[in-house]
Amino acid sequence: LQKSLSETFGADKYSRARKEVLTYMFSRPMQMALYFCTGVLNDETLFHHYALNVPFYTHFTSPIRRYADIVVHRLLSASLGARSPIKMEKEAIQKQAEHCNDRKMASKRVQELSADLFFSVFVRVRP
């Protein structure tokens, strides 16, 4: 598959863009990760990470990138005793998580539409 894709991408000035769009389109069917507050869920199996096969999983990146990552950093720091607990109820944290999910889904949809547009132009001009 990789060899076939590399041949499809070509070596012109648009090859990198084609590679990014096609790779993105291949990964589109995978389920998107969602933010949630564990305190509002009773079923711990929902914390399982399928691909990594681990029962409890959290993910975060640099807290300068996304608000959800700031919240995760603060919660982890508080749970380790490095800072005072967040003064938010679990329902409020869940509401913030749902808002972050909504914004992430909207952003993903715009990205998908952009990729679809680029792909249609690519198919049209490709012999």
**Residue 77: exposed, middle, or buried by beta-carbon count in 10 A (0-12, 13-18, 19+)?**
middle
For 11-42, write each residue's pLDDT tens digit.
778 788 877 777 777 766 666 778 888 888 88
Both ends of the chain: CA-CA distance in Å?
Answer: 21
Q: Among residues 9, 18, 7, which one has the least CA distance to residue 119?
A: 18
Q: Among residues 20, 78, 98, 100, which one has the least CA distance to residue 9?
A: 20
Query: Is the model's pTM score more than 0.75?
Result: no
Amino acid identity of residue 52, one-letter, is L
Q: Among residues 55, 56, 54, 74, which one has the least CA distance to residue 66?
A: 74
